[in-house]
């Protein structure tokens, strides 16, 4: 990450450049600074300008009147398809009733690689869904030697994500009558996501 700060007409301006492998994300408080940086980079490197940010590293960015909403609808849909849970019955409780999560050496083990993938995908989902962090942390405790009960708990948790409304696309919130606190309520009631205002 590269950060450039400067004073322009008594106002501090920032330019932030995030680099991931061969992708650049350029953010700034001044359109002129961003344009100057792009021109400078185009002189040095062969590049394509993809325009306004809409998708970066599994995170969708949707512009609304009051800011930008970060969500992972596409990522979540891919996750539900990957684990064949998209068309399964949903659940509305965070964990199965009376489930005890423990390391029982007598219980049958499961493929650790598959369990690690599931936990890793859920951990990445926490970038825009911090409310899921505790539950993901609990199932992460068992990645070393996962058992059937741990896998079932992870699948149960993924089924819950379906119910929480992560797949609701925030495009419906572009109505001009929304105020910032109304946008936050609408987002957190339908699809808990991070909003930048």
pLDDT digits over 129-160, tens only?
A: 887 888 888 889 898 889 988 888 888 888 77
Is the same domain home to 45 and 99?
no
Domain that holds residue 123: 89-163
Report pTM.
Answer: 0.64
Measure the CA–CA gap between 107 and 116, rounded to whole angstroms.
Answer: 18
The distance between the two most distant Cα atoms of the chain, rounded to a whole number of Å, is 70
The verdict on residue 24 lying in a domain is yes
From CA 95, how far away is CA 197, in angstroms rounded?
Answer: 33
In a domain, 105, yes or no: yes
Residue 146 belongs to some domain of the structure: yes
Same domain, 154 and 101: yes
The verdict on 94 and 158 lying in the same domain is: yes
In a domain, 106, yes or no: yes
For residues 47 and 93, state if they share a domain: no
Total structural domains within the chain = 2
Residues 152 and 93 in one domain: yes
Confirm if 41 and 30 have CB atoms less than 8 A apart: no
> Which has more confidence, 196 or 86?
86
Confidence of residue 7 (pLDDT cuts 50, 70, 90): confident
Residue 83 placed within a domain: no
Q: Is residue 168 part of a domain?
A: no
Residue 78 forms part of a structural domain: no
Residue 104 lies in a domain: yes
């Amino acid at each position: 990450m590269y950060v450039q700060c400067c004073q322009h007409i008594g106002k501090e301006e920032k330019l932030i450049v995030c680099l991931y492998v061969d992708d650049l994300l350029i953010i700034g408080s001044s359109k002129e600074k961003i344009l100057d940086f792009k021109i400078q980079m185009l002189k040095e490197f062969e590049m394509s300008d993809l325009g306004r940010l809409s998708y970066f590293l599994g995170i969708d960015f949707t512009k609304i009147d009051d800011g930008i909403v970060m969500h992972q609808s596409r990522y979540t849909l891919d996750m539900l398809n990957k684990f064949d849970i998209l068309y399964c019955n949903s659940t509305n409780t965070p964990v199965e009733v009376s489930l005890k999560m423990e390391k029982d050496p007598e219980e049958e083990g499961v493929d650790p690689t598959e369990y690690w993938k599931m936990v890793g995908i859920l951990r990445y989902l926490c970038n825009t869904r911090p409310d899921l962090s505790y539950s993901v942390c609990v199932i992460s405790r068992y990645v070393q030697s996962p058992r059937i009960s741990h896998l079932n708990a992870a699948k149960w948790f993924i089924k819950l994500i379906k119910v929480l409304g992560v797949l609701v696309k925030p495009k419906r919130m572009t109505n001009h009558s929304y105020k910032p606190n109304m946008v936050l309520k609408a987002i957190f009631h339908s699809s808990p996501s991070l909003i930048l205002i």
